[in-house]
């Protein structure tokens, strides 16, 4: 290649293609569509410490991913309730992939050292991740109900009402159990018509119904696939909780949380909860 041809190639590569639109006086841009002026000006530091920006961005991005999880879970649940299981599989797979993003976010936050965090922690006041209403909604939709946590949101009437509706509604696991019953698998009435606001308790008939599904995969392929999608989500949710606990301990040790919780102690106790218990216990019975 001659020097002249090389120069021409560099010049050509630096020029925009003629078909690329550049006049946005009347047209919507990428930034307009995503409302980036609002999104990218929402990182308001309360201190002048460099690392507070990381702390804000990690949590804002996590909340955006949680919004998408709620979007997918709501659609998947509607599909299951209509006995259309296959469309739900893509949505539930997407939830698992999003959870992986959330899990990895703790690795980024763990670059924040205790000494750095202490420089702006006092600026948080009583605000805490414990108050994340989207995370609470996800847990409600997965069947982990706790009416007492609603007191945290009582100062916001509209949000409190929305949380109460989710508390009183069936979870996606309840919908899966009902789907088994609709296929003729014997499930106790107590598991099909219970107080949805109460935390789910393991039921022997539900375990036996899932066992029937796993023992005859060809007959119940869609129910089997649904079960495994739910197990994926349960596993990822536990991994997210575990990484959360480890990151918090790495940064603040055994200090209480800013919202008044015991901090690491509270997060460690949360690990004792198991989503979709019969989908785990059946594995011993197979």
Would you state the structure tokens that stand for residue 187, as one six-digit string?
């499930």
Residue 13 inside a domain? The answer is no
Q: Is 198 helix (H, G, I), strand (E, B) or coil?
A: coil
How many domains are there within the chain? 1
* pLDDT-derived band at 24, boundaries 50, 70, 90: confident
Query: Is 56 among the annotated ligand-binding positions?
Result: yes
Residue 6 inside a domain? The answer is no
* Cα distance between residue 77 and residue 250, in whole Å: 37
Residue 7 has pLDDT above 70, yes or no: no
Query: Is 59 among the annotated ligand-binding positions?
Result: yes
Residue 260 inside a domain? The answer is yes
Residue 55 contacts residue 112 (beta carbons within 8 Å): yes
* Cα distance between residue 253 and residue 262, in whole Å: 11
Question: Over the stretch 122-178, which tens digit does the pLDDT of each residue have?
Answer: 999 999 998 999 999 999 999 999 999 999 999 999 999 999 999 999 999 999 999
* Cα distance between residue 13 and residue 42, in whole Å: 36
H or E stretch covering 108: helix 85-109
* Cα distance between residue 282 and residue 238, in whole Å: 19
Nearest-CA neighbor of 205 among 183, 230, 180, 222?
A: 180
Sign of the alpha-carbon torsion through 16, 20, 23, 29:
negative
Give the CATH number, domain containing residue 252: 1.20.58.480
The whole-number pLDDT of residue 3 equals 62
Query: Is 55 among the annotated ligand-binding positions?
Result: yes
Query: Is 117 among the annotated ligand-binding positions?
Result: yes
C-beta neighbour count of 43 within 10 angstroms: 13
Give the Å distances, CA to CA, from 38 to 25, 34, 35. 20, 9, 6
Tokens 């040790």 locate to 253
Q: What is the mean pLDDT of residues 48-69?
A: 98
* pLDDT-derived band at 8, boundaries 50, 70, 90: low
Q: The whole model's pTM is what?
A: 0.92
For residue 264, what are the domain limits?
A: 50-114+131-284
Residue 207 inside a domain? The answer is yes
Give the Å distances, CA to CA, from 4 to 10, 11, 13, 16, 124. 10, 10, 14, 20, 60
Query: Is 69 among the annotated ligand-binding positions?
Result: no
Give the Å distances, CA to CA, from 103 to 12, 21, 146, 236, 261. 43, 39, 24, 8, 22
Query: Is 58 among the annotated ligand-binding positions?
Result: yes
Query: Is 121 among the annotated ligand-binding positions?
Result: yes
Residue 75 inside a domain? The answer is yes
Residue 68 inside a domain? The answer is yes
């Amino acid at each position: 290649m001659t020097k002249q041809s090389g120069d021409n190639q560099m010049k050509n590569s630096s020029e925009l293609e003629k078909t690329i639109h550049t006049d946005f006086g009347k047209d919507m841009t990428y930034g307009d569509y995503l409302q980036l002026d609002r999104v990218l000006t929402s990182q308001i530091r309360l201190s002048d410490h460099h690392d507070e920006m990381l702390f804000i961005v990690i949590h804002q991005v996590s909340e955006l991913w949680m919004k998408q999880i709620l979007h997918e879970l709501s659609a998947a649940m509607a599909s299951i309730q209509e006995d259309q299981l296959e469309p739900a599989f893509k949505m539930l797979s997407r939830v698992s992939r999003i959870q992986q993003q959330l899990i990895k976010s703790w690795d980024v936050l763990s670059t924040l050292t205790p000494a750095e965090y202490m420089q702006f922690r006092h600026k948080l006041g009583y605000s805490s991740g414990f108050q994340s209403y989207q995370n609470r909604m996800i847990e409600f939709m997965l069947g982990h109900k706790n009416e007492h946590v609603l007191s945290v949101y009582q100062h916001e009437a509209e949000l409190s009402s929305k949380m109460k509706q989710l508390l009183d509604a069936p979870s996606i696991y309840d919908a899966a159990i009902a789907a088994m019953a609709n296929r003729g698998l014997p499930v106790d009435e107590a598991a099909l018509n219970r107080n949805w606001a109460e935390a789910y308790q393991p039921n022997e008939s539900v375990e036996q119904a899932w066992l029937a599904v796993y023992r005859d995969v060809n007959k119940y392929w869609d129910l089997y696939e649904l079960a495994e999608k739910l197990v994926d989500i349960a596993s990822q949710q536990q991994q997210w909780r575990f990484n959360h606990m480890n990151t918090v301990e790495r940064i603040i040790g055994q200090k209480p949380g800013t919202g008044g919780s015991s901090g690491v102690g509270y997060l460690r106790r949360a690990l004792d909860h198991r989503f979709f218990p019969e989908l785990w216990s059946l594995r011993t019975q197979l």
